[in-house]
Structure 1
Amino acid sequence: MRRYRLPLSPLAHAGHPAAAGHPVAGLSIAGLVAAVFLAAGLALAKPAALEAQAFEDARGDMSIALAGDAIISRKMSPYREPEFLALRDIIRNATAAFVNLEILFHDYEDDVIPAAASGGTYMRAEPEIAHELAWFGFDMVSIANNHTMDFGAGGARRTVEATEAAGLAIAGFGENLAEARAPAYVDTPGGRVALISIASTFNDAMRAGHQRPDMRGRPGLSPIRYERHVTVTADQMAGLRDALSAAGRGGGSGPRLNFGGMTFMVGDKPGVKTVPNAGDLAEIVEVVKEAQRQAEWVIVTSHTHEGADRREVPADFIVEAARAFIDAGADMFVGHGPHILRAVELYQGKPIFYSLANFAMQNETIEFQPQDNYEAQGLGYEDLPGKFQDVRIERAGASSFPAGKGFWESVVPYVEYEGGKLKEIKLYPITMGWQLPRPVRGRPMLADDALGKEILEGLAQLSAEFGTTMTVENGVGVIRP
């Protein structure tokens, strides 16, 4: 940048004997500076060189790669298949890349204790595995999900330490609710990115709590709770009140009845609708607004298992919440959790991915499980993890992960912006090796043409229900505004 150095004449100093007779004597400092600039033949306006200068991260050109749940318990860097390395290159070539971290990194230290309730499998991998995600090209992860507190606050803290040691920004857990809600920031050539991580699927003991002046907050994840509103006929409401009174619970009166975590109300069209918790929604909206003040790009991501009448369709409350976050200034919403794909919506010209399913699915090769999980499968102290997995899968039958083809397929979106506006979304279909042996399956790679077409056509059908048009070009799904 060109700099102008304009030394003042010694006569300009008020203490100089000749100052009183100098042409600029008596001028204010501002007037003196103006006189000097004019004397030098310069205008007070910003030099043209500065007007034309542009910072790279303010131009608005950006690319963001996204992935769903990373249940990664083994190294990925040793593998060399072309389809595997090509997927890695897609992620590495993006300006920024995100994945949901559905694993905990620790070495069973003294402060890492299995919780009484978990997200199912007690998720754990060696801390060095965090570097595998960085090797793949990711630079930010979310941790708010139903496994955040599998090993208590100690496990979550160790995970944050290992993740940050690998150079990854992480959001969604904190020592209190304000910390858990706070964005993580990543500085990139395309601009500063804010990541806000929340979850709707969790055991209530995992939820972070507000801090008070006279009481510390509760460590945990950042929640987006929801409520079920059940519309019934007048006769059904009367019958429900009578049943509760007979059970000694009290039927109450008025237009609404709260029972069993649901709100019942009389209406013309019976049905069930979920709505976001008003307090949680308001808090997260304010975090989004703050993130927009501090970053060029804002991503909100939620771990949400809950669906509507079909598992493939997102629940009402998360649709409402996702749109509210976009209205508040978020650039995109990224969902994950049900382990299957859900629709892509363009809302106000901004993408909402209701579920990106899985990116890595290696929960079957986690080394240890607490005795609680063995007992749940009728197993004893002498049994080991491999047998635990065998029995659990056999008991689950057709509903188990190994049996469900859709659990092993997904897409990796590559979102491109030009001049600050969405240019296009490319959706790369991936497979994690359904029906391959347990030690093999779970690692992602680009799907072949036939499987890729099948994955994209299914996603296109789901997205069409939200008014989104997707085309398939050279084996890649494309969405353009």
Structure 2
Amino acid sequence: MRRNRLPLSSLTFAGIAAGLAAGLALAAGTALATPTSLEAQAFEDARGNMSIALAGDAIISRKMSPYREPEFLALRDIIESATTAFVNLEILFHDYEDDVIPAAASGGTYMRAEPEIAHELAWFGFDMVSLANNHTMDFGAGGARRTVAAAEAAGLAVAGFGENLARARAPAYVDTPGGRVALISIASTFADAMRAGHQRPDVRGRPGLSPIRYERHVTVTADQMAGLRDALSVAGRGGGSGPRLNFGGMTFMEGSKPGVKTVPHAGDLAEIIEVVKEAQRQAEWVIVTSHSHEGADRREVPADFLVDVARAVVEAGADMFVGHGPHILRAVEMYQGKPIFYSLANFAMQNETIEFQPQDNYEAQGLGYEDLPGRFQDVRIERAGASSFPAGKGFWESVVPVVEYEDGKLKEIQLHPITMGWQLPRPVRGRPMMADDALGQEILEGLAKLSAEFGTTMTIEDGVGVIRP
């Protein structure tokens, strides 16, 4: 429950006063003009005052409500005190029911938590979640349906999955004291079988996630293009002619400077933009969120297509774009006066304590039926070495932004640094809490440096990152 609702008594008295004023005006034979300031005050959600807390990937497999550290409860207070709060749901809620069947391919770990864990996110203060990510279909449509049911039972609005593409693309709406919020969830990182399909009059649609696909455009020299055509000809594929060549899911083009650029799938982007426009008609605030692992020449820098998508949805009317997926922080950009968070990294990282995994994952690590989940995690981490999640310090650090609006205009963004316990024992690490002063300063300075590459100025004030328009 939010603590900043307008008291019922205030609404009642305001309504009575407005009614008396209207009655006196009619009695005097005068026409009612625009609403008085007293009448406008009665509608709190029309004032344009709003605070939105945001978080990255929630891989939450265990209860959080039993813990009582001041740094932990302080983080909860920040989220719960906002008018509304969002997090990406990168876990599935189910009990391995008959309709919950492991897919042949997953997003890595086959994600699962007890359905009751959904209430832990509500306890933390969240009220809307995105479900379009590379784990949406780890356990098929049955697992995704069970997840939506458990999340909604906990009071969470869910976007990003549907029984067909139109439903997957559709916004989820949340009514708050600061106004109605539309959440649109998309993903660029997924196995192709996970994406939802359009419904026809004669064939039902395919359940799945809302995709934003992308294409790779590779620029090569004329000599390189000739060599590629010759190689394809030898392979019996045919090289064709002209300045472009499509092969292996990529488009090759002749140019003076070799390079690779990613561009959004035109059809997907057009559909998403129409959904943004529809959401703008039906809500006062529009959030678009994308789960995207893809980076540029550095993992910390978003891929070209993601920058294009983020800016396009802002141009279409979204109030902000929220990225997650690579499990590390990326820049904050202010574009046309609106925030773009290219990645908020993680909020919870408890994938190591998920109880069961399908045999496919054990076989991938050279393990047999006699091995158990703890052993699976040991071998997986040992094989990955320095590239594993537990080894990377940046995977265990992030920020929780709170975006503040006043009179419908962006006032400021506060970025609160958090830690999930890098190098702590497996049963402990993964739960978020406020970072201490030294670590918080390090996190914020790193984010400020990344954001400066996009022209964003961020100051650090009393241990909090601040961005002002």
Cα distance in 2 for partners of 1:231, 1:327 equals 28
The Cα shift of 1:43 comes to 3.4
SS of the aligned residue for 2:441 comes to: helix
SS of the aligned residue for 2:384 comes to: helix
Deviations 1:363-408 (A, max 9, x none): 0000000000000000000000000000000000000001000000
Counterpart contact for 2:4–2:177, Cα < 8 Å: no
Pair 1:237–1:58, CA change in 2 (3 A): same
- Map of 1:175 onto structure 2: 163
The Cα shift of 1:269 comes to 1.6
SS of the aligned residue for 1:68 comes to: strand
The Cα shift of 1:31 comes to 24
Counterpart contact for 1:2–1:49, Cα < 8 Å: no
The Cα shift of 1:451 comes to 0.3
The Cα shift of 1:48 comes to 4.5
Pair 1:243–1:86, CA change in 2 (3 A): same
Pair 1:296–1:7, CA change in 2 (3 A): closer
SS of the aligned residue for 1:224 comes to: coil
Cα distance in 2 for partners of 1:460, 1:475 equals 13
Pair 1:153–1:32, CA change in 2 (3 A): closer
The Cα shift of 1:41 comes to 3.5
The Cα shift of 1:5 comes to 32
SS of the aligned residue for 2:22 comes to: helix
Pair 1:235–1:434, CA change in 2 (3 A): same
The Cα shift of 1:10 comes to 39
Which ranges of structure 2 fall in alignment gaps of 5 or more residues? Answer: none
SS of the aligned residue for 1:76 comes to: coil
Pair 1:48–1:122, CA change in 2 (3 A): closer
How many residues align structurally? 467
SS of the aligned residue for 2:8 comes to: coil
Pair 1:267–1:109, CA change in 2 (3 A): same
Counterpart contact for 2:3–2:81, Cα < 8 Å: no
Cα distance in 2 for partners of 1:81, 1:3 equals 22
Cα distance in 2 for partners of 1:221, 1:242 equals 39
The Cα shift of 1:2 comes to 30
SS of the aligned residue for 1:153 comes to: helix
Cα distance in 2 for partners of 1:478, 1:9 equals 36
Deviates more, 1:50-59 or 1:107-116: 50-59
The Cα shift of 1:42 comes to 2.5
Counterpart contact for 1:74–1:129, Cα < 8 Å: yes
The Cα shift of 1:254 comes to 1.3
The Cα shift of 1:65 comes to 0.2
SS of the aligned residue for 1:462 comes to: helix
Counterpart contact for 1:112–1:151, Cα < 8 Å: yes
Cα distance in 2 for partners of 1:244, 1:250 equals 6
Cα distance in 2 for partners of 1:372, 1:7 equals 55
Deviations 1:65-95 (A, max 9, x none): 0000000000000000000000000000000
Pair 1:370–1:54, CA change in 2 (3 A): same
Deviations 1:195-240 (A, max 9, x none): 0000000000000000000000000000000000000111100000
SS of the aligned residue for 1:27 comes to: helix
The Cα shift of 1:51 comes to 6.0
Pair 1:251–1:439, CA change in 2 (3 A): same
Pair 1:251–1:8, CA change in 2 (3 A): closer
Cα distance in 1 for partners of 2:56, 2:10 equals 68
1:4 and 2:4 aligned: yes
Pair 1:417–1:6, CA change in 2 (3 A): closer
Deviations 1:129-174 (A, max 9, x none): 0000000000000000000000000000000000000000000000
The Cα shift of 1:347 comes to 0.2
Counterpart contact for 1:241–1:251, Cα < 8 Å: yes
Alpha carbon RMSD of aligned pairs, Å? 6.2
Cα distance in 2 for partners of 1:480, 1:299 equals 19
Q: TM-score, normalised by structure 2?
A: 0.94
1:414 and 2:402 aligned: yes
Pair 1:56–1:245, CA change in 2 (3 A): same
The Cα shift of 1:99 comes to 0.2
Pair 1:265–1:187, CA change in 2 (3 A): same
Counterpart contact for 1:326–1:350, Cα < 8 Å: yes
Counterpart contact for 1:8–1:36, Cα < 8 Å: no
SS of the aligned residue for 1:69 comes to: strand
Cα distance in 1 for partners of 2:287, 2:465 equals 21
Cα distance in 2 for partners of 1:147, 1:49 equals 49
Deviations 1:51-71 (A, max 9, x none): 655510010010000000000
Counterpart contact for 2:15–2:42, Cα < 8 Å: no
Counterpart contact for 2:56–2:324, Cα < 8 Å: yes
SS of the aligned residue for 1:9 comes to: helix
Pair 1:33–1:320, CA change in 2 (3 A): closer
Identity between Structure 1 and Structure 2 (%): 90
Match of 2:15 among 21, 26, 29: 26
Cα distance in 1 for partners of 2:9, 2:386 equals 89
Counterpart contact for 1:144–1:197, Cα < 8 Å: yes
Deviates more, 1:219-228 or 1:45-54: 45-54
The Cα shift of 1:255 comes to 1.2
Cα distance in 1 for partners of 2:282, 2:434 equals 35
Q: TM-score, normalised by structure 1?
A: 0.91
